[in-house]
Amino acid sequence: MLFEATTLPNGVQLKNRLVKAAMEENMAAAGQNPSAQLIELYRHWALGGTGLLISGNVMISRKALTGPGGVVLDAKSDLTLFQSWAEAGQRNGTKLILQLNHPGRQMPANLGQQAIAPSAVALDLGQFSKMFASPRAMTLDDIAEFKQQFLVSSQLALQAGFAGVQIHAAHGYLLSQFLSPLVNQRQDQYGGPLENRARLLLELVTLLRHELPATFIISLKLNSADFQRGGFSTEDAKQVLLWLNPLALDFVELSGGSYEAPAMQGDSRDGSTLAREAYFLDFAKELQQSAQMPLMVTGGIHRPEVAEQVLQTGVALVGIATALALAPDLPNRWQQGEAVSPVLPAFSFAKKPLQSLAKMAYTRLMLRRLGRALPFWSIRRWPLAMLVLDQLRLAGLSRRYKKQMGL
């Protein structure tokens, strides 16, 4: 089943059911445009046999980044570089869509920008909380501007030749914050009961579907749960999917967690036990009862037999992330019968935030190597040194960003 073609609801055909899920590359060039290394990275993935590629975070606003090396797509972007990216990532019959995002309160403080969120609720990461900007509550004008920025970025993605976009409403970013009763404490039409907390997401999907061609893929990344007590629950996700059913989404990717509870890395705060592979498959089985659109499951998948098991449950698409950072030609090798199952090395930091940072640092190192920004070398045996070097690199990118923004 993995290598059978499949057709999305809007008629776009994917050559197989394997999807490169988003990873945050932090490989933007000056001006927050895609770098030559980022473009080369996606050429590798396209030639590696994956049916659909989903980019890492592409930001809709220059004032709101998840990291200093993040790509931004807006009216100031160099569209020729985005066209080169779209061309490189759509070789070999592969499709490439851009994951569009706004960080909300999950924005590094060292970028020097004012964070915004549904309510003025800061991240709770203990001693690491100060790493993130304290947010102010969004006004109705802020909400209207957010929707317009999202639409402009989507229209530019179409113009540049991408096959579609993915709306990021998971992992604790802005749209996920609106869905969460822990973060969203508003008293207006965008807060309170789930119907109000989901209002912005539903308005955005409706806007994009109305303004963009039917053949342009519109996908959504949604938490199956936040994995925090009192947060967005699986029952909430079921109801949101019911509301989304008539809005003509092409597929929904199910994930989970946030910076506070990184379930996307197999960790939670609510006592949930997450499997080592296909973290969110059990939730997908439950949520299929509500969803009429195709579903995609991502989370730790690195073996072909597990990917096949996912499809046998009725899930339409299998998302793979880290394994493709380690082996970009993994689909081709699986199709040729190779029993390859790449995994990250273990990092034994006592504090969970440091473990998460180390995993991200190692993955970014591999992505830069694939993009030929670095020679082939690895410091996996010295995780602390790797983490320090990654933080120094990000600090340099932050200085570049602040200089560009006049901060």
Mean pLDDT, the chain, integer: 90
User: Are the C-beta atoms of 22 and 55 separated by less than 8 Å?
Assistant: yes
Predicted local confidence at residue 267, as pLDDT: 47
Number of H helices, E strands in the chain: 13, 13
User: In the predicted model, is pLDDT for residue 349 greater than 60?
Assistant: yes
pLDDT over 60 at 146, yes or no = yes
CA distance 287 to 161: 33
pTM of the model: 0.92
For residue 382, is it within any domain? no
Which of 227 and 278 is assigned the larger pLDDT?
227
What total number of domains does the chain contain? 1
Render pLDDT for 310-321 as a digit per residue (tens, 0 to 9).
999 999 999 999
Confidence of residue 273 (pLDDT cuts 50, 70, 90): very low
The predicted-structure confidence for 393-404, as pLDDT tens digits, reads as follows 889 999 999 999
> What pLDDT is attached to residue 339?
86
Tens-digit pLDDT profile for residues 76-124: 999 999 999 999 999 999 999 999 999 999 999 999 999 999 999 999 8
Residue 120 inside a domain? The answer is yes
Using one digit for the tens of pLDDT, what is the confidence trace for 153-178?
999 999 999 999 999 999 999 999 99
Domain holding 146, by residue range, is: 6-342
84-93, 144-153, 291-300, 358-367, range with the lowest pLDDT: 358-367
Query: Is 378 domain-assigned?
Result: no
Instruction: Report residue 264's pLDDT band, with 50, 70 and 90 as the boundaries.
Output: low
Residue 56 included in any domain: yes
Contacts of residue 68, defined as CB under 8 A and 6 or more positions apart, other chains included, come to 26, 108, 110, 111, 394, 397, 398, 400, 401
Establish if 125 belongs to a structural domain: yes
111, 121, 122, 171, 240 from 133: Cα distances, Å: 9, 11, 8, 17, 29
Q: Quick check: is 367 in a domain? A: no
Percent of the chain with pLDDT over 90: 71
Span of 80-84, 235-239, 329-333, 345-349 with lowest mean pLDDT: 345-349
178 or 260, higher pLDDT: 178
Q: Is residue 71 part of a domain?
A: yes
At 218, the amino acid letter reads I
Confirm whether 285 is domain-assigned. yes
Ranking 13-22, 61-70, 210-219, 385-394 by mean pLDDT, the lowest is: 385-394
CATH classification at residue 236: 3.20.20.70
